[in-house]
Amino acid sequence: MENYLLEMIKNDDTFWTRSAGGCSDVVLSTRVRLARNYKNYLFSTKIDEKQSRELLDNLRSAMVKEKDLYFFDLSLFTDELKQALFEKQLISKELVAKTQPTGLILNKENDISIMVNEEDHLRIQAYATGLDFDSALEKAIPMDELFSSFGEYAFNKDLGFYTSCLSNFGTGLRASVMVHLPGITEMGMLPQLSRELHKAGYTLRGMYGEGTESWGGFFQISNQLTTGISEEEIIQRITVAIDNLIKQEREIRHQVAQDKKLLLEDKVYRALGLLKNARILTQKEAILNISMIRMGICEKIIGEDSEDFEDFENSEDHKNLTLSLTNKLILYSSTNYLKAIESNRAEKIREILSTI
C-alpha cells in the first residue's frame, strides 16, 4: 500500500496545480471541509488508542464495496511520507503529528481527502480548481451521506453537528481558498487586509493553513463562523468576500505593473533566470521567485499571452510558461515532497523550466 500511496503522491496533476478554474490568476484552489463525529465514540480529543483503532477498522470494513475510494492506515507510513501528503495539501499538520491510529481516504483524482481521527472522527475535504465552491460542495455532500450510513453522527436537530472544537460546531463546514496576492503583498497592505477579513468573519493563514508561514503572497482564507448560519449562507458570503478580494488584487497588481513597469519586468526576468540556472535553492527562495514569475504571467509580461513578447530576446523560449506550470513548481519546491519522490529542488525546477 505504501508504493500505491507514493504513486498517488507523485502525480503532480492535482486540484491546485492546474489553472483551469475560474479566477485562477488569484485563486489556485477551493476547499470545502466537513467536521463529523460518530455518536458511539468519544471525540478524538478524549478517545483512547483502542477505540481509535476500532473506529479505523470499522470504517475500513464498511468501505470494502467502495471501489472509487482508497483507505490508508497512516500508522503504516513514515513521517516523511505523511509530511509529503501535508505539503500536497491532502492532510493537516495536526494529523501528521498524531500518535494514535489515524487514517486517510482518497479518491483516484485526489480531489476528495477524508482524514480519520484528526481533531474530529472525520474531516471530509473536497477540492476544486480555481474559485468554485459549488463543485467542491457537490463532491463533499455524497461523501457526507456515505459516511453517515456507516454510523449515526453526533447531531442535534436544533444545534447541528457536535464537534471537538466550538469554532466548528453547528454546520461543521469550513470553506476556504488558496490565493496568490502579490499585488497586495508588494504594497504592504497585508496587515490591513488581515484586519478587514477578521472583522468580516474570515481568517488569513499561511499557504499550508494554520500555523504555517507564508512566502510570496500565497495564503489560505477560510470562514470562522459555522454556528447559526446555513451551509448555503456560508458559501454565499465567502464567495462574495473572495470576489471582492479578487477585484482588489487585480486592480493593485495592474497599478503596480503600470507604475513600475520596467522594475517589475526586471524582477520577473531575474526570477526566471535564477530558477533556470540555480544549483542550490531553499524552499523560501524558490517560492518567492515562483511568485514573481506568476505575477509576470498574470500581467502579460511573460508567457504565452504576453503582450510584449516580441520585445524580449529569445522570447519564444517562454511561450509554454503557464500558471499551471508555476503551480507545479510550488509543489516541487516542498522539502518533504521532494524527499518522497527522491528529487533535488534546484535540479527538478531547472528540468521543468528547460521545457519552456
Over residues 192-235, the pLDDT tens digits come to 999 999 999 999 998 887 777 789 999 999 998 888 888 999 99
How much is the pTM? 0.92
Note the pLDDT of residue 90. 94
Q: Give me the amino acid identity at 263.
A: L
Helix (H, G, I), strand (E, B) or coil at 71: strand
Note the pLDDT of residue 45. 82
Phi, psi (degrees; rounded to nearest 5) at 69: -120, 145
Note the pLDDT of residue 344. 96
User: How high does pLDDT run on average in the chain?
Assistant: 91
Note the pLDDT of residue 122. 97
Please check whether residue 144 is in contact with residue 37, taking contact to mean a CB–CB distance below 8 angstroms.
Answer: no
* Alpha-carbon distance values, 279 to 250, 291, 339, 342 (Å): 34, 19, 17, 16
Note the pLDDT of residue 307. 54
CA distance 132 to 130: 6
Note the pLDDT of residue 308. 47
In sequence order, the 6+-apart residues with CB closer than 8 A to the CB of 104 are: 71, 72, 74, 85, 90, 91, 95, 113, 114, 115, 116
Please check whether residue 278 is in contact with residue 166, taking contact to mean a CB–CB distance below 8 angstroms.
Answer: no
CA distance 329 to 323: 10
CA 299 vs. chain centroid, Å, equals: 23
The pLDDT averaged over each successive group of 10 residues in the chain (356 residues) is 80 84 91 96 91 95 90 92 93 93 94 96 96 96 96 94 89 95 94 94 88 88 88 94 97 95 96 97 97 96 65 55 94 93 95 90
pLDDT tens digit string along 322-350? 999 999 999 999 999 999 889 999 999 99
